[in-house]
Amino acid sequence: MSPVQNRYCERLGIAVPRVEDVAAQGTAKLFHLMVVALLERGGPMTLDEMAERLETAGVVAATGDLAHSLKKAWHGMAPVYRDATGHFGLDLDAFALRLLVRGTGLLEPRAAPTPPAPTPPVPGDDVPLSAEELDAAFRDRSMTSLSWVRQAAAVLDARQAAMTAEEIEALLAGLTRHRTPLGAHNGPDQSDLFLRHDGGRLTLAPRSPGLAAMRRAIRKLSHPELVRRAEHAACAARIAARRAELDAEARRDAEIARKARRAVLRVVPFAEEPQAAAVLDVSQRSIQTFLGHDMAELAGALDRFDVIAGLHIRDTLHAIGLDADRRRAVDLRPPKKSRRLNRAGRTLEITPELLIAATTGISRPLGDPEKVASYLVEGDHSKLARRLESDVKALYAFYHYGVLHGFVRLRWGFIDERLTTEWALPGDASLYQQLKSASETGAPVDLVVGAAPGWADPWARARHVRILDIRFNDVLVAEGEGRVALSIARDEIQAICLASEHTVPSATQDRARRAERGDEPPPRAR
């Protein structure tokens, strides 16, 4: 009997699995069984609990220590995470989880196998050839091995009308050029398949003994091609139907992403012991701080959001009493902890501050922990609030870049690398999608390039451009009327939007565009 539905499987839309069933297949690795055990439980488990469950299912580790083997099999791989309490859980939004679930046979295919297209029937010899059979037999085919008499007879049989030899020849020449044309030694006089009429017009002799043989010969050529065409048509219909389904799914995802209520959270001093917090409401572009006794209201303020992003976000939500699995929790921690610099073993520690600064261009994205601690001890709420607001703005710029590009940047010395992120919702438009749409429609766009946009006036530094070409690492744009094309590195783009989406241009943009039109002189350089 299958277990009752749980929150993990309900979110994924799958039936609750049993470890025994997957283990019996004999193909699942230990890490896969770890994921199955968590799916079966529907919530976090300790390492010992997972080891006990697998042992009950008959799983044996080669080392003799199943708990130790499970830890080695995991070694930090997604979609399994370990929280501050030592429990292991599943990141339900991770792409790796979908792959594992499908690979272990727990997720049904998106569509049932499509039956093959029905094979066109072969008519009897007493049935005249059809126009489709004629086209399939002759179209761009080599007819050098088929006599002109049979070719002409096939045309008359399919057309069911009297024609001259010259009219037949013209039609055959239009079907294929790989053939022997009508000549003195291969005309209609060489066969009893034809009846002659006034004006040299020809029809088929219905009682000719060669009529049935001609039809069989032509159908031997046409039938395989008709089968291929039927399969191609069925495949095209399936592709069109699937494309329509994907388009509808994309529109639904885009609407869900548009309506999703998102927040960026910053807490201090630690995720497990938050004493002060700032919540940035993305859609409202507002920031609310929680200090002292206000922290009791933090959980209620966050509960209305569908997506919450922040550093060590799962531990933070757990500490304030919220279930991270009931919403999308986006952890803004670096995807990698370190980067090897040379063969001697020198490594670079990848901290949030390093990655945020490299990605957004914000020089001091997060506050000094010692200063923040002193603000907390001294009760200096004004300085603490300003620091929290500054931190959460930097985290929002970091989150926005990761959603837009699908990666964040690691830049240090000679290093300039991309670290992949999975922060976007399925319906979020990527930078490439927005550039491609603007390129196809010719609509002007505003780009913020270089450092992250300012909070008070995010489009103050925007560049009003038209997209000319999208290349691998950069985009070719035309800026201003009559100006030459210039290249902008795609990695340097921090924000993008259609120029028409600005209901009210920023004061800086408004002045710059009036100067560009010649309505007023440009501001004097300082």
Cis peptide before 453 (omega within 30 of 0): no
Tens digit of pLDDT for each residue in 137-153? Answer: 999 999 888 888 999 99
**pLDDT surpasses 90 at 384:** yes
Identify the pLDDT of residue 216. 94
Contact by Cβ (8 Å): 335, 286: no
Compute the distance between CA of residue 146 and CA of residue 437 in angstroms, rounded to an integer.
53
Contact by Cβ (8 Å): 153, 194: yes
At 114, is the pLDDT very low, low, confident or very high (cuts 50, 70, 90)?
Answer: low
How many other CB atoms sit within 10 Å of the CB of residue 496? 20
Compute the distance between CA of residue 287 and CA of residue 116 in angstroms, rounded to an integer.
58
Backbone conformation region of residue 105, classed left if phi is above 0, alpha if psi is from -120 to 50, else beta: left
**pLDDT surpasses 60 at 1:** no
Contact by Cβ (8 Å): 156, 168: yes
Compute the distance between CA of residue 149 and CA of residue 213 in angstroms, rounded to an integer.
12
Residue spans of the domains in the chain: they are: 7-103, 114-259, 263-420, 431-517
Contact by Cβ (8 Å): 335, 419: yes
CA distances, 423 to each of 62, 81, 126, 167 (Å): 37, 16, 67, 67
Closest CA to 106 of 167, 185, 7, 37: 37
Name the percent of the chain lying above pLDDT 70: 91
Tens digit of pLDDT for each residue in 24-47? Answer: 888 888 999 999 999 999 999 999
Closest CA to 130 of 169, 157, 167: 157
Kind and range of the H or E element at 441? helix 431-441
Domain 431-517: top CATH class: mainly beta
Q: Helix axis angle, 211-259 relative to 148-159, nearest 10°?
A: 60
Compute the distance between CA of residue 203 and CA of residue 216 in angstroms, rounded to an integer.
19
**pLDDT surpasses 50 at 524:** no
Compute the distance between CA of residue 452 and CA of residue 391 in angstroms, rounded to an integer.
14
Q: b/e map of 267-303 (b: 16 or more CB within 10 Å)?
A: bbeebeebbbbbbbbbeeeebbbbbeeeeeebeebbe
Rg (CA), the chain: 35
Compute the distance between CA of residue 338 and CA of residue 520 in angstroms, rounded to an integer.
52
Tens digit of pLDDT for each residue in 467-482? Answer: 999 999 999 999 877 6
The mean per-residue pLDDT over the stretch 185-196 comes to 81
pTM over 0.85: no
> What six digits make up the tokens of 332?
């803004």
Tens digit of pLDDT for each residue in 387-444? Answer: 999 999 999 999 999 999 999 999 998 899 999 999 999 999 999 999 999 999 999 9
Segments in 176-263 forming alpha helices (H): 211-259
> What six digits make up the tokens of 150?
């049979």
The partner residues of 322 in beta bridges, in order of sequence, read none
Identify the pLDDT of residue 522. 42
